[in-house]
Amino acid sequence: MIKVLVTDLEYNKAKHIFQNATGFECISAPSDEAGLAKAIRDEQAEYVIVGINKYTKELYEAIPAGGVIARFGVGHDGIDKAQAKAKGIYCTNTPGVLDDSVAECAIGMILTAGRHLAICAADNKNGVWKNRVGVELAGKTLGIIGCGNIGRKVAKIAKLGFGMKVVGYDIVKGSNMENFDDFYPDFAEAVKNADFVTIHIPNIPATQNFINSERLSMMKKGGWLINTARGGVVDEDALFDAVKNNLIGGAALDVFKKEPYIPQMKDLRTLENVIMTPHIGSSTLEACERMAISSLQNIGSADAGKITEMDVI
């Protein structure tokens, strides 16, 4: 049996998979670094599956060389790859398995923004009966920032499902762009007429605060910003100012610089036209099961010495 520690939140998201995985003994463990490191030592484990928490030191000291830190998801900015490599630890993620869930979440946020669904629901629960006039998505322009797998899935749903005009922006134009009406390597051109702008780029040093005051000023007045990617790519204080001063119509955010959300200098929660959800983009039953299976497959490959079959990051 291959012993695997799984951080508690991730374990509970796919408990059925972890409890019934053939050939694996999966054990729920604390998510905090000190608790997780202690559990690894106590269980003499080589393999661990982790979520979005940031791990800076103790985790890498606890796992022996040849062990695996398997990310339950795609983004891996919480894992110090350089430190892991120096210790001889493999790091993996689960590419492709959550694309549909995140794409659907982005579309849901666009619809929620366009029809004021979140605030109308809150109004009604608070005894306020107020009819707010929204917009149809048909015929509206959607700017997609980052045209990878998720961006292309969003384009397909928006184009074929809602009849939106879809405009893409990326550093390089990729393949399978059939659901895009236009593509620009220039951000300003891609967003200047967009009623909604949705972000699908990774959080890497080059994209830190990519959506800043300058780029927000390039957006169409009244346009909405949607972020289901990573919080680090948006300057939250600049976004606050843009919404507060009516430079853009609003924002729908599923990810934040600090999670659970802690304001930077300015609190986005105080703005009516900001929709905020607690990083639920990939939290579907189907995606969680696929992430669990993929994480275990990576660990199984490592245990068998089949390194080339792993999704190494």
Judged by DSSP in three states, 8 sits in helix
279 among known catalytic residues: yes
Q: Which residues pair with 261 in a beta bridge?
A: none
Residue in 4, 12, 8 with CA at minimum distance from that of residue 29: 8
Question: Which member of 259, 272, 286, 309 is catalytic?
Answer: 259
In angstroms, the CA 90 to CA 312 distance is 7
Are 54 and 78 a contacting pair, CB within 8 Å?
yes
Question: Which member of 152, 230, 236, 290 is catalytic?
Answer: 230
Tokens representing residue 118 in the block: 């979140």
In angstroms, the CA 168 to CA 144 distance is 5
Angle of helix 285-303 relative to helix 99-115, nearest 10 degrees, comes to 150
In angstroms, the CA 77 to CA 73 distance is 11
In angstroms, the CA 228 to CA 230 distance is 6
In angstroms, the CA 14 to CA 286 distance is 9
Question: Which member of 76, 116, 279, 290 is catalytic?
Answer: 279
Tokens representing residue 137 in the block: 């998505």
Residue type, 291: M
* Active site amino acids: 230, 259, 279
